[in-house]
């Protein structure tokens, strides 16, 4: 699921298994090694992935933490 979300955001790519159902419990196997290598090379070589990952990083840093949100909800004396 995380790989799918990263891919949908344009910050990476997801490699689905070549054998078996493509659900979250399926693991990648030896037959998937070359596909994984190609995906890694693509993400490292294509600047758009880095740019989108940096945008996501900025968005995450700008988002309030759970502690900050709780503090904002607590009644002030």
Which residue would you say has higher pLDDT here, 32 or 77?
32
Q: Quick one: tokens of 12?
A: 């990476």
pTM: 0.69
Q: How far is CA 1 from CA 5, 23, 36, 62, in A?
A: 6, 9, 17, 24
pLDDT tens sequence across 3-44: 899 999 999 999 887 766 655 567 778 888 999 999 999 999
Q: Phi, psi at residue 72, to the nearest 5°?
A: -70, -25
Q: Quick one: tokens of 55?
A: 């945008």
Quick one: which of 68, 8, 18, 62 has its CA closest to 38? 18
């Amino acid at each position: 699921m995380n790989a799918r979300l990263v891919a949908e955001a344009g910050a990476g790519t997801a490699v689905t298994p070549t054998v078996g159902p493509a659900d979250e419990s399926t693991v990648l196997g030896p037959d998937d090694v070359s596909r994984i290598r190609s995906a890694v090379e693509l993400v490292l070589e294509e600047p758009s992935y880095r740019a989108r990952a940096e945008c996501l990083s900025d968005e995450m840093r700008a988002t309030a933490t759970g502690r900050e949100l709780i503090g904002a909800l607590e009644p002030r004396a």
